[in-house]
Amino acid sequence: MDLPAPSRLIGRAVDATLSPLANAAHTAFAGGPVPPGFTGTRLGVCNLCEAICGLELTLTDGAVTGVRGNPEDPLSRGHICPKGVAIADLHSDPDRLRRPVRRVGSGADAQWVEIEWDEALDLVADGLAAAINDHGRDAVGLYLGNPNAHSLGSLTHGTAMAKTFRTRNKFSATSVDQLPHQFLAYLMYGHQFFLPIPDIDRTSFFLVFGANPMASNGSLMTVPDFPGRLRELKARGGRMVVFDPRRTETARVASEHHFVRPGTDAFVLLAMVNVLVTEGLTSPAAYVDGLAAVETAISDLTPERAEQMSGVPAEEIRRVAREFAAADGAAAYGRMGVSTQGFGTVCQWAVQLLNLLTGNLDRAGGVLVTTPAIDVVGTGLIGRGHHDVWRSRVRGLPEFGGELPVSVLREEIETPGEGQIRAMLTLAGNPVLSTPDGPALDRAMDGLDFMAAVDIFINETTRHADVILPPTSSLERDHYDLVFHVLAVRDTARFTPAVLPREKGAMHDWEIYREIALRTQSRLRTKPPLRKRLEQRLRLSTSPTVLIGLLLQRGKSGVTLRSLRKNPAGVDLGPLRAGQLPDRIPHRDRRIDAAPALVVEDLDRLRSLAAPDPDGLLLIGRRHQRDCNSWLHNSERLTRGKARHQLYIHPDDLSARGLDDGTTATVSSRVGSVQVEVLATEDMMRGVVSLPHGYGHAKDGVRLARASKVAGVSINDLTDPELLDVSGNAAFSGVPVTVSAAADHV
């Protein structure tokens, strides 16, 4: 997942308690980085995915020479995956930027020149301030990518910096990821980040739609050691049932797997709800409103209708629904596959309804809200969210939580007029590979007056920047997970001081954000009032670690920064707690709205979905355990072995097109066309093809570090910015494509 929308972290915490004394007290414990030449072990943390595994690092002469899982970590219990081992490769990667660089020339002729921090930060502030002074605040476009959610400094200072720009043109990876979850949580529960988590350690029935935790290690469900936890679930006599158009790594270890046609899950999920209602299998809590409206809204969405659309037999839908209702603790869960699709919000609604109607919300073994040491929801540190306060200029799409759907970014850069984006600032992101019709965005970025990026690599997106500002690596900075403890399957808290001293002259991300904000502001023709500026300066100058100390003090867990420093493996706060509702429902009346109007209205669009084309092909994405979105392809350790960039296709679909396994085919959509090797596999549902996301590194023949040697094409050369969920989320799953013999082999 990506970053939650606007954070008031800094403001609240500092307003409450900031004093020179508090600052001094926390710096006194600073500790952390090993001395030069250190040999021994240190605890670290992996921030590469949502599983937040605790690590034990071996250092030899000050360099990391071994990485293993920390068995003492109360959440990750010693788990580690191949990416965790590669965290040291990332730190030592010669292609990782260590000093700011300025671009001279462009495209294939671009040269990158290292410059001093002061000069680099001034250039960035000049470029951004010029756009604002000449064209107004909306002339600056911001894009926040996924790693922001995994860095403490980005969460405390990146969001705060972004706010100082006060632009309507703010975008993030949220709208190519979990936006429907946040949108629905806002509508049903009253807060975008009120996200009940499957109680996987106690459930006896785990129902999974469109997620592959065996490869992804879980998402909106921080579940380190998913394989181990699944083994325990099965040993207890529990079951996992998976619905996915591909027989994935997760489907293979499931008790049962059902193929479902991409983009039609809403029919299946709502048919399950229909079965619960018509067969009297519901036992919702007293604090739920709108149940009659739900019944009316879905009365015609029967298992038979679902079978016709999805290919899942009606009797199977009935059986699974009945077994779900009968289980002693059942948890329904849906992730990327049912989020980044045309009916993402309806799917997430149906998932919530399954849990709610069967009494599994707030019940042990069902789905539970977490009780983290820093409760970003209850304390209002992350705002509730808001919807449609403004709209995108060109297509008129509503904002959510202060962000516009990233599918409109290209047109907002290219379309002239007031509010046009003239300058871009990207933070830890690669939208050219990660958003629909990436090539069009790639071209649009060439037309910007100015662009800056905060990133550790020159990638397909940051290559357009005039200046790139690289922060320290994750081994060089303190970490406390503000986001993923909130989404974890067990309540724990852990503070990890920086393991390595920062390299000479390196800057932490939070310091870079502070400088960008303050220097840009000082160049603006219309400045905020002096008081406001002083406040901002104070907030942005308070380190993330100090803020964490303050936030912990304000929490009710009893955990303090001091106690976390004494227990670096982490502090166990116990299994998720049942019986917390209705008190913790964020809606002011402490009631749940089971039938939000915006979602119910979307059912008409669902009903009008065209019947499946028996000869058509629908494209979906996939993740591999050794990939990390569009990056980490520089790591030798992670990229060696069998190629994994191919288009997966069912053998019958391949032969129907007169193609042979292993040849290169042309894959085309409304938007674009790519040539890629095909791999025949019965793991694909008939009529569905799959490409991994995050590939396709060579652009214009420019060598983007060593990653460009990794074969493959970008799936987002084919995905369509016109295909959207009602939340504004990109619909990646189920893009209609054709596959044919490649005219010229490349």
Q: Of residues 1, 9, 53, 139, which one binds ligand SF4 by CB under 6 A?
A: 53
429-449 burial, b if ≥16 CB within 10 A, otherwise e? bbbbbbbbbbbbbbebbeebe
CA triple 536-539-542, angle to 5 deg: 145
Site stretch for Mo ion (CB under 5 A), options 169-177, 252-260, 326-334, 397-405: 169-177
For Mo ion, which is the closer residue by CB, 177 or 511? 177
Q: Give the interface size with ligand MGD as a residue count (CB under 6 A).
A: 67
Residue 471 contact, options Mo ion, ligand MGD, ligand SF4, none, Cβ 5-8 Å cut-off depending on partner type: ligand MGD
Q: Of residues 430, 634, 635, 727, which one binds ligand MGD by CB under 6 A?
A: 430
Site stretch for ligand SF4 (CB under 6 A), options 76-84, 412-420, 484-492, 598-606: 76-84
Site stretch for ligand MGD (CB under 6 A), options 295-303, 452-460, 588-596, 647-655: 452-460
Q: Of residues 44, 100, 213, 224, which one binds ligand SF4 by CB under 6 A?
A: 224
For ligand MGD, which is the closer residue by CB, 367 or 573? 367
Q: Of residues 50, 73, 177, 602, which one binds Mo ion by CB under 5 A?
A: 177
Minimum distance, C-beta of residue 731 to ligand MGD, in the bound complex (Å): 9
For ligand SF4, which is the closer residue by CB, 379 or 625? 625
Give the per-residue SS3 of 672-690: CEEEEEEEECCCECCCEEE
Binding mask 714-743 for ligand MGD (x = CB under 6 A): -xx--x------------xxx---------
For Mo ion, which is the closer residue by CB, 153 or 621? 621
Look at the chain and count its residues: 746
- Distance, CA of 468 to chain centre: 23
Beta carbons of 301 and 609 less than 8 angstroms apart? no
Minimum distance, C-beta of residue 435 to ligand MGD, in the bound complex (Å): 6
| Cα–Cα distance for residue pair 114/658, rounded to 1 Å | 52
Bridge partners, residue 205, by sequence:
239, 330
| Cα–Cα distance for residue pair 441/672, rounded to 1 Å | 13
| Cα–Cα distance for residue pair 50/1, rounded to 1 Å | 8
Strands annotated E in 653-721? 664-668, 673-680, 688-692
Beta carbons of 51 and 76 less than 8 angstroms apart? yes
Residue 459 contact, options ligand SF4, Mo ion, ligand MGD, none, Cβ 5-8 Å cut-off depending on partner type: ligand MGD
Strands annotated E in 176-304? 197-198, 205-209, 239-243, 256-258, 288-289
Please identify the residue of the shown chain whose CB is closest to the bound Mo ion: 177
Is 489 near ligand SF4 (CB under 6 A)? no
Is 46 near ligand SF4 (CB under 6 A)? yes
Is 245 near ligand MGD (CB under 6 A)? yes
DSSP state of 555: S
Site stretch for ligand MGD (CB under 6 A), options 329-337, 485-493, 545-553, 586-594: 329-337
Residue type, 2: D
Beta carbons of 35 and 49 less than 8 angstroms apart? no
Residue 215 contact, options ligand MGD, Mo ion, ligand SF4, none, Cβ 5-8 Å cut-off depending on partner type: ligand MGD
Question: Coil, strand, or helix at residue 621?
Answer: strand
Residue located via tokens 């476009």:
141
Q: Give the interface size with ligand SF4 as a residue count (CB under 6 A).
A: 12
CB atoms within 10 A of CB 453: 30
For Mo ion, which is the closer residue by CB, 303 or 692? 692
Question: Coil, strand, or helix at residue 258?
Answer: strand
Q: Of residues 1, 14, 52, 59, which one binds ligand SF4 by CB under 6 A?
A: 52
For Mo ion, which is the closer residue by CB, 219 or 669? 219
Beta carbons of 700 and 105 less than 8 angstroms apart? no
Complete DSSP assignment for 596-620: -HHHHHTHHHHHTPPPP-TT-EEEE
The helix (H) or strand (E) run that includes residue 275 is helix 265-278
Residue 498 contact, options ligand SF4, ligand MGD, Mo ion, none, Cβ 5-8 Å cut-off depending on partner type: none
Site stretch for Mo ion (CB under 5 A), options 96-104, 147-155, 171-179, 194-202: 171-179
Site stretch for Mo ion (CB under 5 A), options 135-143, 170-178, 251-259, 683-691: 170-178
Is 1 near ligand MGD (CB under 6 A)? yes
Minimum distance, C-beta of residue 120 to ligand SF4, in the bound complex (Å): 31
- Evaluated on CA atoms 641, 647, 649, 655, the torsion sign reads negative
What angle do the packed helices 509-522 and 117-135 form, to 10 degrees?
50
Q: Of residues 81, 123, 124, 368, which one binds ligand SF4 by CB under 6 A?
A: 81
Please identify the residue of the shown chain whose CB is closest to the bound ligand SF4: 84
Beta carbons of 212 and 245 less than 8 angstroms apart? no
Q: Of residues 115, 215, 253, 397, which one binds ligand MGD by CB under 6 A?
A: 215
Could you tell me if residue 516 is left (phi over 0), alpha (psi between -120 and 50 degrees) or otherwise beta?
A: alpha
Site stretch for Mo ion (CB under 5 A), options 175-183, 562-570, 640-648, 721-729: 175-183
| Cα–Cα distance for residue pair 105/119, rounded to 1 Å | 19
Q: Give the residue from 477, 457, 493, 437 showing the smallest Cα distance to 671.
A: 437
Minimum distance, C-beta of residue 218 to ligand MGD, in the bound complex (Å): 7
Residue 717 contact, options ligand MGD, ligand SF4, Mo ion, none, Cβ 5-8 Å cut-off depending on partner type: none
By CB under 6 A, name the binding residues for ligand MGD: 1-2, 49-50, 145-147, 151, 173, 176-177, 209-213, 215-217, 219, 243-246, 248, 260, 262-263, 265, 335-338, 341, 427-431, 434, 454-457, 459, 471, 474, 509, 620-625, 627-631, 693-694, 715-716, 719, 732-734
Interface residues toward Mo ion, by CB under 5 A:
177
